[in-house]
Amino acid sequence: MDEDRLITKLQDRFDPAAAGQLTAVYQFDLDDTENYHVQIDQGELDIHQGQHDKPDVVIASNSATLIALFKKELNAMQALLSGRIKVKGDIGLASRLPKLFGKPRE
């Protein structure tokens, strides 16, 4: 998946209501495209290319797995147990991804 398409999908699927008062930085270390970090601040979303100095959680995977997780086509626990994603840091934040980015395109 090309990186512009990944960014568009993240932006399109973000649900500010699900974020509520959350303030967090998600680092996505992707093996098939550039790395990105996503800053969520009380319903606002900012996506930046590259590494963040102090992410709250780091998720290592590939873009297709990430999108499947967001679309709820892939169960997060199955993805973890099978090694399709690896998580460092706050696992609770990682478990919120399907809700944060699960809004279907309107």
Split into its structural domains, the chain has a count of 1
* pLDDT tens digit sequence for 61-75: 998 888 788 778 888
Asked if residue 95 has pLDDT above 60, the reply is yes
Whole-structure pTM value: 0.87
Q: What is the overall mean pLDDT for the chain? A: 88
In a domain, residue 29? The reply is yes
User: Distance between terminal CA atoms of the chain?
Assistant: 21
% of residues, the chain, pLDDT over 90: 55
In a domain, residue 105? The reply is no
10 or 103, which is more confident: 10
> 66 is in which domain, residue-wise?
3-100
Distance CA 20, CA 68 (A): 23
H and E: helices and strands count for the chain: 6, 5
% of residues, the chain, pLDDT over 70: 94
Of 16-20, 23-27, 33-37, the poorest mean pLDDT is in 33-37
Distance CA 65, CA 68 (A): 5
5 or 38, which is more confident: 38
